[in-house]
Structure 1
Amino acid sequence: MGSLFTILPEAVGAIRADSKPAILGQLADRFATVYALDRSDVLAKLQEREKLGSTGFGRGVAIPHARLAGVNRPVAALLRLEAPVAFDAADGRPVDIVFGLLSPEHAGATHLHALAAISRMMRDEEMHAALTQAPGPEAIYGLICNVIDRDAA
């Protein structure tokens, strides 16, 4: 079984943002740049999904996600914030880890399975601590790949 989503090294980074809209904008920038997608389409879909209810997952994590035409398999991006930002999360805590997911427009179950895999990863206390304490994007990418490789085995 292959991995449920693709994440490229360039899709992982550290950002400074002061609001939820700023975070979504930077996430859209990252997806557009790394996966050659239209930034305005990505941002519109992420904002549309956010209107249905916050993707603030809890414990300092948000998982903004959407389905988008032009995406042929689920792709992800992870941004670690330099300082926590309010995100209307279920537990009321600000977020400092934003794990974005984009899936093909008609990817029903595929999208849900990828989202579930990211949720499991983010619920793991040790993984959450490791992501928060990792020295930089390369280390964060390595942590994510270790989990993906382990789950795919």
Structure 2
Amino acid sequence: MTNVFLTRLESPIGRIELVGDDVAVTSLSIERDGALPHDDEPERSNAVLDRAREQLLEYFAGSRVAFDIPVRRAGTPFQQAVWSQLDRLGWGEATSYGALAVAVGRPGSARAIGAAVGANPVPIIVGCHRVLAADGRITGYSGGNGIPTKLWLLGHERIGFAA
């Protein structure tokens, strides 16, 4: 049986909850409507989550632009391919759903790409907030309080978008 660990931190976009195992972060949740998925469970951290927590605090403080935290993402092969492309995006870089579709060899599948982006289990660490519509608009965000959370993250990284 794998050990499961949990820690939380305060951030400018609300509380964040990190879940992991002995070697990797497996999920990151951003508070929505004052709640986190495991609010009823006590924190039980480990070295991996402590490191992730510290790096997230540095990111929010503006002193970190890349994460070097091990993550394990459970998903379909298609989702894994999309998330691997998201891994390539750095601080301040954006892409479109259509460009991601081409990159994973599925041109014209922007809706499926959107679903895979929205299913990213470790937002912020894997920058799904950096994906915009082809014309630069914000079309949605599944983390935290949705579009306001995405707006904060884009502004923090100085990523321009169309209104």
Instruction: Give me the TM-score of the superposition, normalised by structure 2.
Output: 0.25
Higher RCO (C-alpha under 8 Å, 6+ residues apart): 1
Structure with more of its chain in strand, by fraction = 1
Q: Which has the larger radius of gyration?
A: 2
Structure with more of its chain in helix, by fraction = 1
